[in-house]
Chains A and B, each alone.
Chain A
Amino acid sequence: MSNDVVVELEGVRKCFGPRVIFDDVSLSVHRSEVVAVIGPSGAGKSTLIRCINRLNTFERGVIRALGHEVYGTEEGKPALKRDELRELRTEIGMVFQTFNLFPHLTVMKNVMLAPQRVKGLSEAQATARALELLEMVGLSHRKDAHPRQLSGGEQQRVAICRALAMEPKVMLFDEPTSMLDPELVGDVLATIRRLALDGMTMILVTHEMMFAKEVANTVVVMADGRIAEMGPARQVLSAPKTERARSFLERVLPHTDGGGVTDVRTHPQDQGGPIAGPIDSIGGSALWSREADEEELL
């Protein structure tokens, strides 16, 4: 493994009971690389990134994160010890679709908890770090609020701060904006964009195709229990090589040839559908996540 590979998956198979969710997934993520994982609902995107910090186990293959094998699936290869796993997780930041902030703690305490309890930072050090991060996402004025008093977009930005406070070497995002109202998506994406510019290594499950195209270096399309296509973001999103990736993108994008990505209104589903009117006027990238979700349910 070359030194600047941060996360590496080799032939990973994941099952839930007898059901194979995906198989033979291999992927290398290099330092400062942003990988967007896209694909239809149920393809196993969340499950995949949850395997990386071992919130899920898997049945076959190897995942190495920051040089550690996170889980031994082969005989004679023991999994990380509990403490080693805990140590590793401090270096892998995770942001959930549903934020999962700690409701009993203020915004500040949410961000300060792990640095104090795990890294042994003093109250003053943890406070300084938390304030700096909240400042960065424009939420220092909400530091004494409790999560329930915040909008979804604000909660998600706090959740990002909470993860960043541990100074992780890689960040995992599981559809960080898909629970948000359209007008709140932008602030969260701006925060992630800024992390990308700062050189943070990130794996991002998303339905925001425009954002993926803009920020990601690599796009991974998961479908039918495997990686259907993987490659440079612009190439995969504009001119997918495989039939499976193309058919997925055709359903979530207006048209995949060239810059069609930018024109929301030409999406065929927008015409005549019962919700076409009101949604039409909202526009913006959030629309993508809505469409993607709805279509995969059909």
Chain B
Amino acid sequence: MTVVLASIWGVWAPYLPSFLRGLVITMEITGLGLAVAIVLGAILAGFKLSRFRTLRLIATVYVDIVRSIPVLVLLFLAYYGLGQLGFTLSGIASATTALGAYYAALLCEIFRGGVQGVEKGQKEAADALGLGRVSGFARVILPQAVLRVLPPSTNQLSNIIKDSSLVVTIGVADLMARSYQASASTFRPMDMFVLAGIIYMALYLVIARAIERWELNVQRRRG
């Protein structure tokens, strides 16, 4: 056993620095994509909950269209498609755009559900106290909605991390691309992709556990 481990380690060790640099890029793409998705998703959710039909319609059309297109198609549209129109985006910018656009559509639905899921009496209590629409939302509805959307949003985070690996197709040197290169130059794809898999898994688990613990803490404090 130790012999096997030692020999695998021997294969992995030279590539580890490169993989970790790839991990940084993977995290960058994931983080930027997630940030765009959260902001755009929140705006779209606001549209969906709006009193104005036009805004609701815009959000619905956006979500329906974007959600039904593969992320890879969105990525190629951002990278090659926009390039054709004269908006040349870097690989990372394209990935941010594609992941942000796609996951905004998913998060929009989650956010909307989270806000609508807050018990009706909460809004009524805020109204009855004379809290305005802004304070009522920011102080009463939002803090409760955030906790409700956390678990399904964390789920989507795992998908963003995994989908970030699609940038291998447009030449971004992320974790996926580097493991692909390493497997090609060593002829040991099994070892290299297992290592990549382990790193992807570790990334997700660390973040997900951190969110989970924060959530549990808040819930414990609230009794």
Q: Secondary structure at chain A's binding surface: helix, strand, loop or mixed? A: mixed
Most buried by A among B122, B129, B147: B129
Could you say which residues of chain B place their CB within 8 Å of the CB of A118? Answer: 129-132, 135
Which residue on chain A has the smallest CB distance to residue B132? A86
Q: A100 to B124, Cβ gap below 8 A? A: yes
Could you say which residues of chain A place their CB within 8 Å of the CB of B223? Answer: 145-149
Give A135-170 as 1s and 0s: 1 = Cβ < 8 Å from B's Cβ atoms. 000000000011111000000000000110010000
Q: A117 to B121, Cβ gap below 8 A? A: no
Determine the distance from Cα of A100 to Cα of B120 in the docked complex, in whole angstroms: 9
Could you say which residues of chain A place their CB within 8 Å of the CB of B127? Answer: 55, 89
Q: Known contacts A96-B121, A146-B222; is A102 also within 8 Å of B140 by CB?
A: yes
Could you say which residues of chain B place their CB within 8 Å of the CB of A104? Answer: 143-144, 147, 222
- A84-135 contacts to B, CB under 8 A, are 86-90, 92-94, 96, 98, 100-104, 113-114, 117-118
Determine the distance from Cα of A162 to Cα of B131 in the docked complex, in whole angstroms: 12
A53 at the interface (CB under 8 A from B): yes
Q: B128 to A92, Cβ gap below 8 A? A: yes
B139 at the interface (CB under 8 A from A): yes
Determine the distance from Cα of A90 to Cα of B135 in the docked complex, in whole angstroms: 14
Determine the distance from Cα of A234 to Cα of B18 in the docked complex, in whole angstroms: 87
Minimum C-beta distance from B130 to chain A (A): 3
Could you say which residues of chain A place their CB within 8 Å of the CB of B135? Answer: 117-118
Q: Known contacts A102-B140, A104-B144, A104-B222; is A117 also within 8 Å of B122 by CB?
A: no
Q: A86 to B130, Cβ gap below 8 A? A: yes
Could you say which residues of chain B place their CB within 8 Å of the CB of A88? Answer: 130
Q: Secondary structure at chain B's binding surface: helix, strand, loop or mixed? A: helix
Could you say which residues of chain B place their CB within 8 Å of the CB of A83? Answer: 132
Q: B128 to A98, Cβ gap below 8 A? A: no
Q: Known contacts A146-B221, A146-B223, A149-B223; is A100 also within 8 Å of B122 by CB?
A: yes
Q: Known contacts A117-B135, A117-B139, A148-B222; is A98 also within 8 Å of B130 by CB?
A: no
- B52-70 contacts to A, CB under 8 A, are none
Determine the distance from Cα of A166 to Cα of B131 in the docked complex, in whole angstroms: 11
Which of the residues A87, A94, A102, A145 comes within 8 Å of B122, measured between beta carbons?
A102
Q: B144 to A113, Cβ gap below 8 A? A: no
Could you say which residues of chain A place their CB within 8 Å of the CB of B124? Answer: 55, 96, 100
Q: A100 to B222, Cβ gap below 8 A? A: no
Could you say which residues of chain B place their CB within 8 Å of the CB of A100? Answer: 119, 121-122, 124-125
Q: B128 to A89, Cβ gap below 8 A? A: yes
Minimum C-beta distance from A179 to chain B (A): 12
Q: B130 to A90, Cβ gap below 8 A? A: yes
Q: A90 to B129, Cβ gap below 8 A? A: yes
Q: A114 to B222, Cβ gap below 8 A? A: no
Minimum C-beta distance from B123 to chain A (A): 9
Which residue on chain B has the smallest CB distance to residue A109? B139
Q: Known contacts A100-B122, A146-B223, A149-B223; is A163 also within 8 Å of B144 by CB?
A: no
Could you say which residues of chain A place their CB within 8 Å of the CB of B130? Answer: 86-90, 114, 118, 166
Which residue on chain B has the smallest CB distance to residue A86? B130
Give B192-223 as 1s and 0s: 1 = Cβ < 8 Å from A's Cβ atoms. 00000000000000000000000000000111
Which residue on chain B has the smallest CB distance to residue A93? B128
Could you say which residues of chain B place their CB within 8 Å of the CB of A114? Answer: 129-131
Q: A96 to B125, Cβ gap below 8 A? A: yes
Give B6-21 as 1s and 0s: 1 = Cβ < 8 Å from A's Cβ atoms. 0000000000000000
- B94-150 contacts to A, CB under 8 A, are 119, 121-122, 124-125, 127-133, 135, 139-140, 143-144, 147
Which residue on chain A has the smallest CB distance to residue B140? A102
Minimum C-beta distance from B142 to chain A (A): 10
Further 20 A-B residue pairs, CB within 8 A, beyond A100-B122, A118-B130: A53-B128, A55-B124, A88-B130, A89-B127, A89-B129, A90-B129, A94-B125, A96-B121, A100-B121, A100-B124, A100-B125, A102-B122, A104-B143, A113-B129, A113-B131, A114-B130, A117-B139, A118-B129, A146-B223, A147-B223
Closest CB pairs A-B (n = 7):
A90-B130, A149-B223, A100-B121, A94-B128, A100-B125, A114-B129, A148-B223
Complex A-B: 17 CB contacts under 8 Å: A55-B124, A82-B133, A83-B132, A89-B128, A89-B129, A92-B128, A94-B128, A96-B125, A98-B121, A100-B121, A102-B139, A103-B144, A118-B129, A118-B132, A146-B223, A148-B223, A162-B129
